A and B are shown apart, each in its own frame.
Chain A
């Protein structure tokens, strides 16, 4: 039988602050084990936490970008539990007064997925199991996190993926995290239950922990829905459990029972005073937000007139969008700028990560000089593309590759005589074109390009050729 999926996602995002949430240690990823540590982040006796104000600002930024209400009065709580990588035996987190509440993310369909809350907390260390021994690296301990909890509004694996993807994009855009799922700077837990259509009660839910890629979110949901469906169809009942998704076997299996629900014994952390943020600060943060990605996408299509496919390729990487808009600001045309980025520049980048990083050797201004030459038809697109290639490889400006004399276009008279030459020199191609094999005209283009060193305007040449051939 068919069931309705009820799904909510909890997302942990590591904030890109330079220092940890409660001390001055670096948050840099990696490093020799236990070198990015101090008495505070390793929970030494007597050490006390000092809340990093940047963390509060970043979390508010996230809240504003996700349409949340900001709680201007808030505090930190202790969540008590014992685990070897948690040095104080409690995590400093937020319980009943999260910094942000009641926001949403809008899906392409127009459906809104509610954001229940966003709170700040500290990350734990990392256990390393080697040769039958367990070692602990506390470098990650105290790295600031925000936890974004969605409402159980998600009703399909596609929606789940879209939600996570949009969340990632927005967080990257506002610059608070790199959201690298493979490095763990963004991790998702999926809560899922099934119910009969029309049923208003929730079914028993399971939680799939620590999913580390967007496609695994989707796959894990499909696998878990299948597992729960089989149980329910067989007349069984779902056990409330924490599950793990195995990428290798594409299956979901229990991690530990949640029957005895954990008692975290939350209470306000007495070492950190209640804090309040004034409305002006919130407004200051609001005004510092960049144009959000989906607003940008709409503008690219509706105002700039970019085809949606091209717009989507550009807007999703903040640095690319900045580069694109930088070139436009220098006066380059929308169409040529977009096409050269998506065509030529992207062809030098294989992975998403490279596009995300967008480490190129030329500036938007240098790029704009080139685009404008194409815009003004001083060079054709082919020349623009090959010049751009050379610029990207060398980091040098347009002037290095295009000499002033190159910029003088081929005059109409010269082009016409060249076309005549091309026809005379290729009698077979002429016959082919006349007999309907239109592609044969390329031979004549090749002749003209060779003679002009690629500088001829190919459209003008085509018009002339067809006129001369009489077609």
Chain B
């Protein structure tokens, strides 16, 4: 049985276990299981042990923060001073930033113990984590299946109990979809709620860092620790959430207005659909008010997402030219030749596809037809969400139309892969928060995810609803045998 953050923190404080022992236990488990799961791509055991020793010191002195001494993992697109950060791309091979991402700076100052960087789709582009230059991570629930993506490694290390929690990033569902595939909790906060400083950009207006955890309460604890305005990220906001999020979750959901939009349920695997409907009934039985609503612009969300995300990506990825860091081609005749060869060899197919798509939609002559139009529809989607949240507290939807795919089945059809983001991308377009919580299993025993969406800075409400569900649904969450036995 796995322990949550609160429980681990209590044991650390009661001297039942030291941070060093706890870290060693995770390291042993990683050494045993990671060669199969491929969930970690860079291991930082030396610095982890050092951090654990410091954490023990902090714990001994008393007044240590809750996350002190608890081993965790970061997605490989979150910069860590002096530690390899590659976005699982050959083009950033051996890249060691000399600065910390704000989220890591915050966790580090609280005594967090970093075990390593987790596998992901190259530059966070993908829905299976198979575009990683290190090969795909495997789903701990069934190693014939993908973890989902792009934060597949971050989902897998939590699902396999190889970290107490992890951070992922979500541009179009990259936290929530792998969380649902691996049977863990994934929170995509409001755009701007968490600083993006040090997160290697994919789609800057959509990207957001969030926690992946074993429970909703853990998600609240980690979110609490990383949120807040940052003077290094102009798009970040210092939002006043009131008292600790983890504490306000136990409130009754009686009277909570839950919106159900038919648009979220079309084209969904019937098995998943019925699981979510059951969950909605559970809410209703406990006093929630169900509102059937409509979000007609939602059907345009997917094309809008791929236009905006790719446009921003084409610009964000222009800097990888072999001049200042990362991979450089071995032979070339001029600067132009060097840049062309470096990029041709350094980027994978999916990244190249999105760079080309983005370059195309921003080109003169096409800008108005694609990018500009996408921005207008984005505003319309925002308006619809805004209107819906005037009468609903949260929306409930599936996280993904399917459970985890078998390995190597989506690579050939990018469009089919893009369709698996259909339930998650509208949330990023509108910048609102959403959480994916485990919602039972399908006939194959693969986890199903339920998504709870809130209004901007409505994290407290979605955490409350998710926590209620987690508590009421009982032991619907399958457990993974293996990992740390703490």
Contact = CB atoms under 8 A, between A and B. Distances in A.
Check if A and B associate.
yes
Contacts of A46: 77-79, 97, 99, 101, 197-201
| Majority DSSP secondary structure for residues of A touching B | loop
Contact of A45 (B92, B231, B371): B92
A78 B323 contact: no
A46 B205 CA distance: 14
B250 interface: no
Contacts of A39: 97-99
B234 A80 contact: no
A50 B318 contact: no
Contact of A44 (B99, B196, B203, B233): B99
A292 interface: no
A29 to B, nearest CB: 23
A48 interface: yes
A51 B197 contact: no
B231 A50 contact: yes
A51 B325 CA distance: 25
A466 B235 CA distance: 85
Contacts of A265: 314-315, 359, 362-364, 367
A267 B362 contact: yes
A270 B232 contact: no
B234 A88 contact: no
Q: How large is the interface on A (under 10, 10 to 19, 20 to 34, 35 or more residues)?
A: 20 to 34
Given A46-B199, A46-B200, A134-B335, A271 B323 contact: no
A20 to B, nearest CB: 14
A304 interface: no
| Listed residue (A82, A134, A136) with the most chain B CB atoms within 10 angstroms of its CB | A82
What class of interface size applies to chain B in its complex with A? 35 or more
B311 interface: yes
Nearest to B199: A46
Interface string A36-76: 00010011111111110000000000000000000000000
A49 B197 CA distance: 9
B339 interface: yes
A339 B315 CA distance: 60
A47 B99 contact: yes
Which of A39, A46, A88 has most chain B Cβ within 10 Å? A46
A90 interface: yes
B204 A45 contact: no
Contacts of B99: 39, 44, 46-47
A266 B366 CA distance: 12
A87 B315 contact: no
Nearest to A269: B204
Interface in A256-271: 263, 265-267, 270-271
A337 B113 CA distance: 73
Interface in A270-285: 270-273
B45 interface: no
A33 interface: no
A80 B315 contact: yes
Contact of A80 (B97, B200, B203, B318): B318
Contact of A90 (B77, B318, B321, B339): B318
A267 B200 CA distance: 20
Contact of B311 (A43, A44, A267): A267
A263 B234 contact: no
A263 B363 contact: yes
A352 to B, nearest CB: 38
Contacts of A45: 79, 85, 87, 92, 95, 97, 200-201, 319, 325
B312 interface: yes
Interface string A81-111: 0101001111000000000000000000000
Nearest to A79: B315
B319 A43 contact: yes
B234 A44 contact: no
B444 interface: no
A89 B321 contact: yes
Contacts of A88: 318-319
B91 to A, nearest CB: 10
Given A84-B323, A265-B363, A44 B97 contact: yes
Contacts of B371: 267
Contacts of A270: 203-205, 235, 312
Most B-side CB within 10 Å, residue of A78, A265, A271: A265
Interface string A445-465: 000000000000000000000
B312 to A, nearest CB: 6
B226 to A, nearest CB: 15
Interface in A108-142: 134, 136
Interface in B282-334: 311-312, 314-315, 318-319, 321, 323-325
Interface string A362-400: 000000000000000000000000000000000000000
Contacts of A51: 234
10 contacts: A39-B97, A45-B200, A46-B99, A46-B197, A48-B196, A80-B318, A88-B319, A263-B363, A265-B363, A273-B235
Interface of B: 77-79, 85, 87, 92, 95, 97-99, 101, 196-201, 203-205, 231-235, 311-312, 314-315, 318-319, 321, 323-325, 335, 339, 359, 362-364, 367, 371
Given A39-B97, A51-B234, 18 more contacts: A43-B319, A44-B97, A44-B99, A44-B324, A45-B325, A46-B97, A48-B197, A48-B234, A49-B234, A50-B234, A78-B315, A80-B314, A82-B321, A84-B335, A136-B323, A263-B363, A265-B367, A273-B234
